[in-house]
Structure 1
């Protein structure tokens, strides 16, 4: 894998940027994420931006577009062909426990499972298709998909940019970093919610 990653970093800028888009896009639409996590391409795009070979904004936009478009395709594939496709993928490639975990997530959290799954490598390639199979309304899917794709792609782009030549450490722990990013987002949302609740609950000053 190390030789492959180094080879990607030596690609022409345009081709490397295409991979930043394609790896997240193919993750759920073609189940490529079962083998190669999509954040690899986004992290390497950030590294290339650090090396001034790609614009940082272009990397972020390509990563977001790939994540959102790829998951949307995965949703429609699951809606129409999901059961037939899952039955043809060998268990050694697609573990049954991962399918069960993704199905449980959709049952428990509904649209929020799309957001949560974006930050978990084992679920990210499966949840869009299973959401389609479960007939989750597409507008709800798209809203959570767009939010998750935006935060995920921007987060890993920035991580790759900050890591620079130390990208291998980031890549090795990418799944844990994704979970940590999800926790940080959740904490930020909880803090924001509590602040708003305190402001609404605060009594107005008594006029004198």
Structure 2
């Protein structure tokens, strides 16, 4: 599997910036996150950064910016065409239950919902648009929470993929030598058992006597 990813990743190269950033942007901007969570693309991009196909910190910057701008576009879309969006074909596919749960979530947490919703796939796609429909103040409330969520989520997903790749490389090296270690341990245990068996005296029986 690792070899397959390395072969594919070597061909994509710098396209990871565009693909992962585009999915992070589109997740809330056009509700792509209801079908394909952007976090998956960012984790793969972190893996690509560890393999050396792209640079880590530029990818982190792309992830954070794409997430923040995508949510801002989703907010503006909700503010301008909220009722039409909910009654559109896309809105009907989202379903009344998802709209209602997002509305309740926003009403309950206010500006914090923009940050908290970032870490749940369905809410991440719908919360910005719902915030726009509710006319949440953009500069005073939505934008600060949006930037905070984008920074934590975008950077976190990329770094998670980077760390996973490092762990995978360590595990692959360990797996290479693990059978040899197990064989050596098993041989040592068998040898100790044989030596102990040779040194231990045979069973002695005592005849009980009655006085």
In structure 1, the partner of 2:60 is: 60
**Match runs of 1:9-24 below 5 Å:** 9=9, 11-24=11-24
In structure 2, the partner of 1:159 is: 160
The TM-score, its normalising length taken from structure 2, stands at 0.71
Structure 2 portions without partners, runs of 5+ = 169-211
1:115 lines up with 2:115 in the alignment: yes
1:145 lines up with 2:140 in the alignment: no
* Alpha-carbon distance change, 91 to 146 in structure 1, aligned in 2, over 3 angstroms: closer
**Deviation of residue 21 (structure 1)?**
1.1
Moved over 3 A (4+): 5-11, 89-93
2:20 and 2:63 in contact (8 A); partners too: yes
Q: What RMSD over aligned residues (CA atoms) do the two structures have, in Å?
A: 2.2
SS of match in other structure, 1:53: coil
Structure 1 portions without partners, runs of 5+ = 168-208
1:68 and 1:149 in contact (8 A); partners too: yes
2:29 and 2:70 in contact (8 A); partners too: yes
Take 1:70 and 1:94, find their aligned partners in 2: how far apart are those partners? 18
* Alpha-carbon distance change, 47 to 107 in structure 1, aligned in 2, over 3 angstroms: same
The TM-score, its normalising length taken from structure 1, stands at 0.72
In structure 2, the partner of 1:197 is: none
Structure with higher Rg: it is 2
**Deviation of residue 158 (structure 1)?**
0.9
**Match runs of 1:193-208 below 5 Å:** none
2:115 and 2:146 in contact (8 A); partners too: yes
